[in-house]
Every structure is written in C-alpha cells, then in structure tokens.
Structure 1
Amino acid sequence: MLGSIPAGRWAIFTSGSQELARKRLAAAGIPAPEVLITGQDVAWGKPHPEGYIAAAQGLGVPAGDCAVVEDAAPGIRAARAAGVRSVLGVGAPDAQEIRPDAVVPDLRSVRWIPAGLEIHRQDR
C-alpha cells in the first residue's frame, strides 16, 4: 500500500517513541515518512485527536481530507475526533461504538489512488 502513495502524501502517528517507530520501520524495510508524529510530539495520546490533527497539519491538508489506517479502537476514536471521514480498520479492531468505515485483514489488498484508498477483493 505505501508504495502506491506519492512521497509527502502520507504520515504516521503512533503513541510510541520516535526511536521505536524508526527502528520498526527500518526493520520492516519501510522508509520513514516526512511527517512522523509520535507520543513525544503531542501532549495527549490516543484516543485524543491531537496526533492526527498534527499529522494532517504536517501534510498541509485538513484532517477531514485524510484517510486513516488503524488497528485499534482508541486510534479509531482519535481519528474520528480529529474529523477524519475515512477510517480503515486493519485486523480485527474492537467492535465498539466507533467503527471504521471498512475492515481488511491486512494491507495487501489496499492501494492508494488519487481519490483515496482502494480495496481489492481477495478471493479465497
């Protein structure tokens, strides 16, 4: 999925530290995005919207124009509170009152297109 997104058009917000985030990205062979917001950069972690708002500002776009990929209910709540309209759940996010717009088991079927995220059905 990340390979289909143009440089400068994606960000990461994680509650972890800068060091941990960079090490995990490097271990996965993923270059760090230009905008990397961590728990060290915000006063409030998830489910507070501050991190997603900061990431959107770093990209120079309104949070409502962003798509968020999340794997946990606190992150989904944070995205919604930030005004994000499109939230994709990965794995099995907690089924609570705030739900993602769609859920995928992993990101292999997801691609970026200029209109946003596109999910290709995977036949089993």
Structure 2
Amino acid sequence: MDGTLVDTEPYWIAAETEMVEEFGGTWTHDDAMRLVGSGLWESAEVFQRYGVDLDADTIVARLTERVREQLSEHGVPWRPGAKELLEALREASVPTALVTMSVRSMAQDIVDAIPFHAFDLLVTGDEVAEAKPHPEPYLTAAQQLGVPIGECVAIEDSPAGLTSAATAGAVAIGVPNILALDDVPHHLLWSTLDGRTADDIAAAYAGARA
C-alpha cells in the first residue's frame, strides 16, 4: 500500500521525525530509508533504541494516528497509474488482496477512499505473526483468496515487500519509489504503473512462468 498504491512514505517520515525529536533524538533521511517497508512493531524497537520512551504498541498507535491525520488534512496521494490498474484488474474479475504492514484501521481509510470495490481482502501488519520481508503476509493473502501462491502476482515498491512476495513464491513485480530494487529478488521491474493494464499483468505472469 504505502509507496505502491499511495505515496504516503513522506507522511510516515514526518511522523517518525516528530516523534524521535520529541524525545530529544535525531532522525535522519537515511534512518527513515532503512525502515521503508518494515513491520511497525519491528520499527518500534528501532525508535526505542533512538530514545523514544514508549512501549511498542503506543509507538505504533501514535505513528499511525499521525499519518492518518495527514491523510485527512492533505488527501490520499495516489501513485501514478495505481488506481487505474487496480480498477482494470477488478473489471477483469481478477481477485485482489491488499498486503500491507500498516494496521487495518489505516488500510481501511485508504480502501474507503477508492471509488469502487477494490479488494477482496486485506492482510495487515497487526494481523500477521511475521512482517515483511518474511513470506507470511503473502502466503496468508493467497490462502485467504483461495489461490495457489504460485499463481499470484505481487506488486511492491520496497526491498522488504518485494523480498516477501518473491520468497513466498509469487511473481514479484517491483515498481521503485524512493528505494532502488535492482539487488532485491524479483521477476521484473517496471519504472511506473502509469499506463499498465490487466494484459500487462497477464503477460508478466506468463513470462515469469514460461
């Protein structure tokens, strides 16, 4: 979701910076980049090491609420072509799942902002035992969709997300946003989703499985 469907990474970075500085620490751009795509509870341990004197659940709740506030204030910043491709897949009756390490409440905010029924199910960071880059989130989504993971295509923007999808066994398409993906396990890389169609997804799957 974050960075693939919507460009919320700047919102997360702002929330992280505010919180660390509140406790007298310093949070750099490089610090933020190392957490892109990571699970929120794993990230909370990092913030604690940077001096944030709160328990992990409170850190996750505060960060999530701050990002939701920014979404409410500034709107949902869609990534180019993402909503259009999702709509095309739905029109083609392709089952879809949103697999995100954000918590369900925030993911639901994004889904509710989509003007069509976009996803058959959501798998969120507060509902899995292992976060990305572990394969569990994608294996869970495939199981709940009732589709073998080897017949799934995953689109990801982060190293953690792409690793999760590829190691789970899905055809993994990387669409870089703020981090390079060249050295991460993947089947192919697209520079953007803009102009991509359901036929492109089918062709990507066929090429990877040929």
TM-score range, shorter chain: 0.7 to 0.9
1:27 partnered with 2:113: yes
1:76 to 158, 162, 181: 162
Unaligned residue ranges in structure 1 (runs of 5+): 119-124
Scaled by the length of structure 1, the TM-score of the pair is 0.79
The whole-number CA distance in structure 2 between the counterparts of 1:98 and 1:34 is 28
1:89 partnered with 2:174: yes
CA, structure 1 residues 48+22, in 2 after alignment: closer, same or farther (shift >3 Å)? same
The whole-number CA distance in structure 2 between the counterparts of 1:34 and 1:115 is 18
Residue correspondence of structure 1 range 11-50 to structure 2 within 5 A: 11-29=97-115, 31-50=117-136
CA contact (8 A) 1:4 1:113 kept: no
Q: CA deviation at 1:44?
A: 0.6
CA, structure 1 residues 8+58, in 2 after alignment: closer, same or farther (shift >3 Å)? farther
Scaled by the length of structure 2, the TM-score of the pair is 0.49
In structure 2, the residue corresponding to 1:110 is in which secondary structure? coil
CA, structure 1 residues 2+14, in 2 after alignment: closer, same or farther (shift >3 Å)? same
Query: Counterpart in 2 of 1:3?
Result: 87
How many corresponding residue pairs?
116
Q: Percent identity?
A: 30
Higher strand share: 1
Higher helix share: 2
CA contact (8 A) 1:88 1:104 kept: no
How large is the RMSD of aligned CA atoms in angstroms? 2.3
**Partner deviation per Cα, 1:44-64 (whole Å, 9 max, x = no partner):** 110000000011111111111
CA, structure 1 residues 34+112, in 2 after alignment: closer, same or farther (shift >3 Å)? same
In structure 2, the residue corresponding to 1:87 is in which secondary structure? strand
